[in-house]
Amino acid sequence: MPMTEKRREILETLDLGGLNPGACAGSRWLACRERVIPSISPVDGRVLAEVCTASESDYEEVARSALEAFSTWRLVPAPGRGEIVRQIRSRLRLSKQELAQIITLENGKILAEAEGEVQEMIDICDFAIGLSRMLYGYTMPSERPGHRLYEQYLPLGPIGVITAFNFPMAVWAWNAMIALVAGDTVVWKPSSKVPLCALAVTRITGEVLQENGLPDGILNVIIGDGETVGERLIADPRMRLVSATGSVAMGRRVGRVVMERLGRPLLELGGNNGVIVTPSADLGLATRAILFGAVGTAGQRCTTIRRLIIHESVYDVTLDRLARAYGQVRVGNPFEKKTVMGPLIDCEAVAAMQAALETIRQQGGRVRFGGEVLRGGLFDAGTYVKPCIVETDPGLPIMQQETFAPILHVMRYRRLEEAIEIHNGVPQGLSSSIFTSDLREAELFLSAAGSDCGIANVNLSTSGAEIGGAFGGEKDTGGGREAGSDAWKAYMRRQTNTINWSGEMPLAQGIEFGDFSSRSEG
Ligand code: NAD
C-alpha cells in the first residue's frame, strides 16, 4: 500500500483527524485555539496531521477537572479501579496493531519495537490489575498495651506525567495505570514531537471512562508550549506528584520547581549506559545483545548502550565481530520487516549526532564504522543515519554526556576494577551490564563495589527491561523508580495509624506525664 494511503488508514482507524484538539479532560475534548503545530513523520519528513495546542485556560480546565474527579475516583475501591484498568487493557489489546503503526509513523521506531511498546502498556495494565488487590501496608506490634499500629496507603491526588518522545505511549502507561489503581487522577503532558500517539491513547481511555459513567478528569491529556503548559503543570500545587521522563536538563528544572513548592518529583532522566566485556564472555551472545542494545530504536532509548569497555585480550575479536554485525544492519523504512533501524526522530537529532561525531574526532576518537547521513529516496527525509562505532579513550570529555543517537564508544581495560571505575565515571547512572562466565566477576559487578546504576545485568543488554522490576537510575538519571516492584508507593499517601482500644492512656517510650489518673472517665 502506498505511504499516503497507509497513513490515512492508520489515522482514521484511531479516530485522528487532519486537525486535532490538544487537550482532553477524560472523554471531553477541549476546543483548543492557542497555536497549530504539525506532527511530522520522521519516516518521510511529511506532515502527518496537525494539533491545536492548549492555552492557559485550557490547562486550568484540565487541572480543575483532574482535581474534581479525584474526589470521586479516590472513593472507588481499589479492585474496582483495577477493573477499569482491565477494560483499558482489553481496548489496547484490540487496537495493538493500529497503535503500533502510529508509533512507527510518528516516532520512526521499527514496527516490531512499536508492537513491543504497545505490549508493554498491556503488560503494565496486567501488573496494575493485580496490584489493585495488593496495595499492602504493614501492621506492626505496638509497644503500648491495647493499641493497634499499622500503615495504610491512600490515594495521593492529581498527578502530572511528562513524557519524552522516544516512548510515546509506554512511559505514560507505566505511570498512569499504576496511578489509576492507586486512586490518583492523571494529567499527561506528552512530548510535542509525538502528539498523535498521546491523542490516540486518550481516545481509547476516554471511551472506557465514559462507558463506565465515570466523571471527566480521571485521565487527561494536554499538549502545549513549555511556558503555557509544562511550566504551569510543574508549578501547580494541585499536582501532588510530577513524574517527568526526559533529559537531565529538563529534570533539573522540573526537580527544582516541584521541590520549591514541596511537591513530589519522580525523575526518569538520561542514561549513559556502559557494558563490560570480560575475557570469559560468550562473544556470540555478547555481540547479539550489544547490537540490540546499541542500535535498537536507532540509539534513542534511555537504556541504549553508549559505552563498551572490553578487556584487552578480547578487544580486537569483539570489535571485529561487532563491526561485521553493524555492516549487516539494514537501515530503512521502519514498516518493512527486514529493517533493523529506522530514522532518528528529526533532522535536529541528526545534526546533533553529526556535531557529536565532529567533537569526538577533535578530542581524538576514531570512527571505526558508520556515522554517515544517508541520502536518496526515502532517505531524503534527512533523518536516516548509519549506526556508528567509535574507538575511544575513557578520558574523552564528550563521553560524560548522553548523545541521543546510535554512537557506540568502545575502549579497552586491563583489570576488572579499572573497568568498573571507567564504567562508573560518568554523571548518569541508569543501566549497566557485564558479559562474563566467571561467577566472581559477575558478583563483583553486582556488589556495593560494582555498578552504581539503578539497573545492573549479567549477560544481557542494558536495554529491554521487563515491567515487573522497578525501573530507574541513580545520580543524574534522577533517582526515580517506576513500573514494577513497590514503585507504586510513590503514587500514594502513606498514613500511619494507631488505635487505642484499651481505655487506658499509656504513653510511648514509657513517659509518665504528670500525676493524673490514666483511666478514662467513661
Ligand atoms: P526532553 O527533556 O527534551 O523532553 C521530555 C519532556 O519534557 C517533553 O514532554 C518536554 O516537552 C518536557 N519538558 C521540557 N522542559 C519542560 C519544562 N520546563 N517543564 C515541563 N515539561 C518540560 O527529552 P526528549 O528529547 O523528549 O527525550 C529524550 C531524553 O529522555 C533522553 O535524555 C533520554 O535518556 C530520556 N529518557 C529517559 C527515560 C528514563 O526512564 N530514564 C526514558 C525515556 C527517555
DSSP string, 95-121: THHHHHHHHHHHH---HHHHHHHHHHH
The four Cα atoms 118, 121, 122, 128 give a dihedral, to 10 degrees, of 180
| Alpha carbon of 513 to ligand 1 centroid (Å) | 55
Q: Per the structure block, which three cell numbers stand in for 380?
A: 531524503
Q: What is the pLDDT of residue 496?
A: 98
299 assigned to some structural domain: yes
347 assigned to some structural domain: yes
Separation CA 345–CA 37 (nearest Å)? 16
For 492, phi and psi rounded to 5 degrees?
-130, 165
Q: What is the pLDDT of residue 522?
A: 44
Which position among 268, 402, 441, 482 bears the catalytic label?
268
Whether 230 is in the pocket of ligand 1, judged by its Cβ within 6 Å, is yes
Nearest CA to ligand 1 atom 40: 268
Residues 379, 427, single domain; the answer is yes
Residues 281, 243, single domain; the answer is no
Predicted confidence (pLDDT) per residue in 362-386, tens digit: 999 999 999 999 999 999 999 999 9
519 assigned to some structural domain: no
The H or E element spanning position 160 is: strand 158-162
Q: What is the pLDDT of residue 2?
A: 63
Sign of the four-CA dihedral 257, 272, 383, 221: negative
Residues 309, 203, single domain; the answer is no
Residues 144, 215, single domain; the answer is yes
CB 407 within 8 A of CB 365: no
Which position among 302, 402, 441, 453 bears the catalytic label?
302
Cα separations in angstroms, 90 against 119, 183, 198, 379: 12, 20, 18, 37
Residue 347 annotated to the active site: no
Residues 374, 249, single domain; the answer is no
Residues 215, 356, single domain; the answer is no
Whether 332 is in the pocket of ligand 1, judged by its Cβ within 6 Å, is no
Residues 337, 260, single domain; the answer is no
| Alpha carbon of 230 to ligand 1 centroid (Å) | 11
Q: Which residues contact 31 (CB under 8 A, 6 or more apart)?
A: 21
pTM of the model: 0.97
Nearest CA to ligand 1 atom 20: 230
Q: What is the pLDDT of residue 228?
A: 82
Domain that holds residue 332: 273-467
Burial group, residue 510, by CB count within 10 angstroms (0-12, 13-18, 19+): exposed
pLDDT under 70: residue ranges of the chain: 1-3, 516-522
The H or E element spanning position 470 is: strand 470-471
Nearest alpha-carbon partner for 484 in 448, 444, 457, 454: 454
Residues 80, 106, single domain; the answer is yes
Whether 174 is in the pocket of ligand 1, judged by its Cβ within 6 Å, is no
| Alpha carbon of 162 to ligand 1 centroid (Å) | 7
Residues 374, 453, single domain; the answer is yes
Strands 388-391 and 19-21, sheet pairing: unpaired
Residue 348 annotated to the active site: no
CATH classification of the domain holding 336:
3.40.309.10
505 assigned to some structural domain: no
Residues 196, 294, single domain; the answer is no
Residues 122, 15, single domain; the answer is yes
| Alpha carbon of 163 to ligand 1 centroid (Å) | 6
Burial group, residue 93, by CB count within 10 angstroms (0-12, 13-18, 19+): middle
CB 379 within 8 A of CB 369: no
Q: How big is the chain, counted in residues?
A: 522
78 assigned to some structural domain: yes
Q: What is the pLDDT of residue 5?
A: 80
CB 152 within 8 A of CB 493: no
520 assigned to some structural domain: no
CATH classification of the domain holding 203:
3.40.605.10
Q: How many domains does the chain have?
A: 2
66 assigned to some structural domain: yes
Whether 226 is in the pocket of ligand 1, judged by its Cβ within 6 Å, is yes
Residues 246, 196, single domain; the answer is yes
511 assigned to some structural domain: no
Whether 231 is in the pocket of ligand 1, judged by its Cβ within 6 Å, is yes
